[in-house]
Structure 1
Amino acid sequence: MDVERLRLLRELAERGTVHAAADAMSLTPSAVSQQLKILQREAGVTLLEPAGRRVRLTDAGRVLVSRTDEVLAALDRARADMDSYRSTPRGTVRVAMFPSGAAMLLAGLITRAAAAGVEVLGRDIDQPAANAPGQLADFDVVVVHRDERDVAQWGPRIEATLLLREPLEILLPPHHRLSTRKRVPLRELADEPWIGVEGGLMVDDVLRSLAAISGVNPRIVQRVNDFRVVEELVLAGVGVALLPRYVLSTRDLVRKPLSGVRIARRIEAVTRTGATSRPAVNAVIRILKTLAHETVEHNTRPQ
């Protein structure tokens, strides 16, 4: 049964005449009568009966009016709920992050979003940044990292919010011949074995960039995606590696910036175009920006 026809029936019950109901609904009396006849056919029972020159509700009509009040009240509550979702952060936001980004940002995002009334369902997924548009089929926000020299555009259906730029440093074992240098020239690492990552991931892109701008082609002997495992291999002397500056180390290793070249990853939060109009998604993006800023501030604070 049509809700607007139910509303007409209720107006008739409250106002007593078809003319009064028509005036209240800004309709003609004939239009109201026609709609009420259609409602009666939809209900399959007699809702109105003659009462002199007027009509009155039958017992079935009165029952339907009482149910109509319940239906309209439920619709009002539903509209209020939808209005709240449009105006305040509520609901669940699904977020995917690359693993080291999740270690840096996910815990803070979950707890701060919860305080704002938003539930974050987070996943750590190690995929190339180029896969982010496909991941948005399953997630509301995808946090990616890219070589800062990567200028590929996302396209009109994707919005990207820059969270931070994070320099990459050389990770050396404690007694490496270059461990006492303030900065390490890339040319002095030309003959070193390197620990890389799977092709297509951020560190591999950075190593390719280094080779292109310096002519030094890193000799990769192992490819390991997990930075925790990379630390163990560097500590064992298997090779040197690149590590983002804000990634926490668990081993006593030496981290040095490269000299003569700038290398960094760019961390972005990617959404479908227009997704940030949803208050909950917008809140998640704001929290991510705040956490990223705090990470940079904490790591650049004078010791």
Structure 2
Amino acid sequence: MDIAKLRTLREFADRGSVSAAARALHCTPSAVSQQLRALQAEVGLPLTEPSGRGLRLTDAGRALVARADDVLAAVAHAEAELDAYRSAPRGRVRLALFPSAALLLLPGLLSRFAERPGLDVEVRDVDMTPKDVPGLVADFDIVVAHRDELAEPFGTERLDVVHLLREPLDVALPFGHPLADRDRVEPAELAGEPWLGVDVGYPVDDVLRSLAVRTGVQPAVVHRINDFRVTEALVAAGHGIALLPRFTLDTRRVLRKELAGIRAARHVEAVLRPGARTRPAVAAVLADLRAETTAVTAS
């Protein structure tokens, strides 16, 4: 089977439509449709079927996509072996991070990348939910993602997941709060407090929801703000309390209190396509991510 046709099939599977696959492959939708038809004729089985105004994969198509991942990973591995003959990792790596991970890691990461001549890292911060991650992996070589530690893991047969850290979520209180002198606070002590949350579907909201299930204390969310620096400013001004990630929380602006009797945290993970880290350039960026994570969480 032709590699280009398998790559077209994978892009269609990852992106869900012919037009989106065409944009990713920098070609026309008709060219994508032609490639899919040619591959279907080659295997002698229907790989797609009508679904509304578009197409979806058949069972045979989904099975072939899984095998296409193996084939394309093997091709990537072969290309990586050739790249290994170079003296240092080279080429472009596309890296996406959710904003608070960028706040935590990116300053040090950019310094590390600068010490790797020949490596070109293109970085974007993306406000992502866990369900967005598989689609982002289609656009980026590495996606730094986060999820509630009680949520289902990202790990599927079509994703390669590398754990970076477990980050506790602590309660942020304004200075002068009645619980200011406590090292840890009980969830029941926060009943009736106005909470500053994030949009539904993001990991911190998932933690708040699981907190309610486990303790029976239903947080009253009065505002939903995704920018943690804005949330800190609102907490500092006395407009509510919030669950915020420990390693980026600015304790010069707000008080940080651990939750007693309950584990509240998110996992931060690097997510890649299978075989992606066989590329020396991608492996180098992944190594820098691990090193920077260790450095900032140990300080």
Q: Same fold (TM over 0.5)?
A: yes
Partner Cα separation in structure 1 for residue 278 and residue 85 of structure 2 = 8
Is 1:100 the equivalent of 2:100?
yes
Q: Counterpart in 1 of 2:38?
A: none
Is the alpha carbon distance of 1:274 and 1:186 closer, same or farther for their aligned partners in structure 2, counting shifts above 3 Å? same
CA contact (8 A) 2:233 2:253 kept: no
CA contact (8 A) 1:110 1:119 kept: no
Q: Counterpart in 1 of 2:233?
A: 232
What is the CA distance between 1:252 and its match in structure 2? Answer: 2.5
What is the CA distance between 1:248 and its match in structure 2? Answer: 4.0
TM-score norm. by structure 2 comes to 0.70
CA contact (8 A) 2:83 2:280 kept: no
Q: Counterpart in 1 of 2:149?
A: 148
Q: Counterpart in 1 of 2:275?
A: 274
TM-score norm. by structure 1 comes to 0.69
What amino acid maps onto 1:179 in structure 2?
A
Q: Which moved more, 1:250-259 or 1:176-185?
A: 250-259
What is the CA distance between 1:113 and its match in structure 2? Answer: 2.2
Partner Cα separation in structure 2 for residue 181 and residue 153 of structure 1 = 36
What is the CA distance between 1:210 and its match in structure 2? Answer: 0.5
Identity level (%): 49
What is the CA distance between 1:92 and its match in structure 2? Answer: 1.1
Deviations 1:47-105 (A, max 9, x none): xxxxxxxxxxxxxxxxxxxxxxxxxxxxxxxxx99834565411111100000100111
Partner Cα separation in structure 2 for residue 248 and residue 182 of structure 1 = 16
What amino acid maps onto 1:262 in structure 2?
R
CA contact (8 A) 2:83 2:279 kept: no
The DSSP-based 3-state class of the residue aligned with 1:273 is coil
Partner Cα separation in structure 2 for residue 161 and residue 109 of structure 1 = 17
Is the alpha carbon distance of 1:219 and 1:92 closer, same or farther for their aligned partners in structure 2, counting shifts above 3 Å? same
Matches within 5 A, 1:251-290: 251-290=252-291
Partner Cα separation in structure 2 for residue 143 and residue 129 of structure 1 = 11
What amino acid maps onto 1:95 in structure 2?
L
Larger CA Rg, structure 1 vs 2 = 1
Deviations 1:97-148 (A, max 9, x none): 0001001112222221231232211111101022111012221100011111
Partner Cα separation in structure 1 for residue 216 and residue 245 of structure 2 = 22
Partner Cα separation in structure 1 for residue 93 and residue 233 of structure 2 = 35
Is the alpha carbon distance of 1:249 and 1:81 closer, same or farther for their aligned partners in structure 2, counting shifts above 3 Å? closer
Matches within 5 A, 1:5-44: none
Partner Cα separation in structure 1 for residue 97 and residue 139 of structure 2 = 13
Deviations 1:240-268 (A, max 9, x none): 00111101417521110010111111100
Q: Which moved more, 1:282-291 or 1:241-250?
A: 241-250
- Structure 2 unaligned runs (5+)? 1-78
What amino acid maps onto 2:175 in structure 1?
P
Partner Cα separation in structure 1 for residue 147 and residue 172 of structure 2 = 19
